[in-house]
Structures are given as C-alpha cells and as structure tokens.
Amino acid sequence: MQQNLLPTIETLRYAAPLSRRDLLGQFATGLGGMALASLLSSESSANPVPGEAADPPPHHPSKSKRVIQIFLQGGLSQVDTFDYKPELERL
C-alpha cells in the first residue's frame, strides 16, 4: 500500500496554528535566505576587462524598425514561418 505524503484538506483544517515564535522563526529564515542570495549575486558578477567594451557594436547596422517576438512552447511550424518574397528572384 502506497502512502500519500501530500496533505489533505482535513489535515490542513485541523492543523495546529503557528505560534508567534514559530512564525517569527520562519520569517527570519526566509529573510536570511533572501539576504544570502543578494550577497552571493553581487559577488558572482564579473568585473569588466579594462580596454574592452561591455557590449561591442554589431557588425552591420540594423535595418529593422520593429520586432515581433513569438514564444510558443512547442515552436512554430515551418509552414507558418514561410514568407515567400518574389522580389528576391528578380535580383
């Protein structure tokens, strides 16, 4: 027989409420975790190399003025992304 480890509504309904000490302890643990994450993220950032640009310019200037970004979990079909351009055959 497999034991269900997830709490049911009945067990949550009759669970003892948190005492003030438990609530403050859980709050302090969460606050300490957020402070630790903040400290570690500031230490992990790399310093820029002197004499190099952080973001180099592109190889060629862009011609686009607007961008449509489509995010689909499964991705677009090749039929949906095909855009026939007859002017390219004339070149």
Encode pLDDT of 46-68 as tens digits: 666 666 666 677 788 888 888 88
The per-residue pLDDT of the chain, averaged, comes to 77
More confident residue, 42 or 23: 23
| Nearest Cα residue to 54 out of 42, 64, 67, 45 | 45
| Nearest Cα residue to 81 out of 66, 62, 68, 65 | 68
Residue 23 token pair: 């609530």
